Amino acid sequence: MGFQGKISEKHLYWVLQVLGWSSIVFIETINYTFFIVGEFNWEYVMQFLIMSFLGLTVSHFYKTYFIPKSQFQKKLSRIWVKGLVDVFGITFIMTALLYLPLIMSFEFEGLNSQFIISYFGQLMNLGRYVMGWVIIYYLFHIMKHTQEVTEQKLLLENLAKTSELELLKNQLNPHFLFNSLNSIKALVLIDQEKARDAIIKLSELLRFSLNYEKAPLIALNDEMKEVEKYLLLEQIRFGKRLDVHIQLEEETLELKVPPAMVLTLAENAIKHGITKLPDGGSIHVSSKKRGKNLIVEVTNSGQLNDTFNLGIGLQNVQKRLESLFGENSKFMLDSNSSNEVRATINLPIN
């Protein structure tokens, strides 16, 4: 992992494969020369070279076909149980191939005690190297998977914090609060009950905005309650210049959406659409279930300029959808000939 900036993972794997299995030749030659036989013999070196080649070939074959990458996404206990099985599997294959020429030759005298002792001795000998290979290979992938999970978690946490700050900066910015409070102040002189209700809705909206990142998904019905509060406060400011229509299919109300996402689209419709129209306009929020997907649309009066670019708020909508649902979700922004701009989020139900 530390070498990945200079060398690819594939190249690193083969470098470690060759160096690791070549160590058999070095270690066993020293062992036989100084501690077992007492003299150097090229015949032993050739046998160790064969063992080394078998180790490299069999471990690579076994890794390719019997150790899936998904193995390292499981619990540690299950990973290491599989690792123990792999030690026995690789060792057995290597030993069988090593003794195959002897078994196929005319010199083979059958399964006598001397052969069995020799065979199991070789199993134990090769098992040491195979166990080392399995431990190193497994540790590498466990650490790699842990690093990927950690990076993904940090990315999501950072995205959630960024979205939270962006919501506070854009949706509930000082201008919105100033306008809402001014509208409520004027409303106090006209209808104190409505003013009281508006203050409650503003406080609830503020509380939601501060706490929404605590859950990755919430029911569409809960999200729309906050959207309605926001649009009601904007209606107090715009008066008859803002017409609001909300049409939600009953079967979509309990389906899950990222919190504050529809609220972001509604705020964007007010900020870039309604406020730029002298006579005001309308906002239409709708939801529908199509197959295994939930589709939410926010349509407002206005047109997209040729130079229009997605702001940070809408960019965060895209990023959050990608982080939560990947390629199974879509975000679209378009305008039609009826002088309307439509923002659409399409996400999987499950």
Q: Considering the chain, what percentage of its residues have pLDDT values greater than 70?
A: 88
The predicted pLDDT at position 226 comes to 87
> Average per-residue pLDDT in the chain?
85
How far is Cα 239 from Cα 182, in angstroms, rounded to an integer?
13
How far is Cα 239 from Cα 230, in angstroms, rounded to an integer?
14
pLDDT interval class at 136 (50, 70, 90): very high
Q: What is the pLDDT of residues 15-36, one digit of tens each?
A: 999 999 999 899 988 988 888 8
Could you give the residue ranges of the DSSP H alpha helices within 167-219?
174-190, 192-211
The predicted pLDDT at position 4 comes to 45
pLDDT interval class at 73 (50, 70, 90): confident
Q: In this structure, what is the dihedral angle of CA atoms 131, 136, 138, 139, given to the nearest 10 degrees?
A: 130
The predicted pLDDT at position 1 comes to 43
pLDDT interval class at 308 (50, 70, 90): low
Domain boundaries, the chain: 9-153, 172-348
User: Which has the higher per-residue pLDDT, 44 or 294?
Assistant: 294
Q: Is the pLDDT of residue 348 over 80?
A: yes
Q: What is the pLDDT of residues 274-305, one digit of tens each?
A: 888 988 899 999 999 999 999 999 999 988 87
Q: Is the pLDDT of residue 168 over 60?
A: no
Report whether 285 contacts 239 (CB < 8 A).
no
Report whether 210 contacts 179 (CB < 8 A).
no
The predicted pLDDT at position 171 comes to 46
269 Cβ contact partners less than 8 Å away, ≥ 6 residues apart? 283, 298, 299, 300, 341, 343
The predicted pLDDT at position 276 comes to 87
Q: Does an H or E element contain 143, and which?
A: helix 113-166
The predicted pLDDT at position 283 comes to 95
**What does the pLDDT average to over 215-226?**
89
DSSP-assigned beta bridge partners for residue 243: 282
Q: Does an H or E element contain 246, and which?
A: strand 242-248
Lowest mean pLDDT, pick from 69-83, 204-218, 253-267? 204-218
Please, what's the largest Cα pairwise distance for the chain?
111
State both tokens at 93: 């294959």
The predicted pLDDT at position 282 comes to 94
The predicted pLDDT at position 14 comes to 92
How far is Cα 83 from Cα 77, in angstroms, rounded to an integer?
10
Lowest mean pLDDT, pick from 166-180, 202-216, 269-283? 166-180
User: Which has the higher per-residue pLDDT, 325 or 107?
Assistant: 325
Q: Is the pLDDT of residue 170 over 60?
A: no
How far is Cα 63 from Cα 54, in angstroms, rounded to an integer?
14
pTM of structure: 0.51
**What does the pLDDT average to over 101-117?**
80
Secondary-structure class of domain 172-348 per CATH? alpha beta
How far is Cα 181 from Cα 184, in angstroms, rounded to an integer?
5
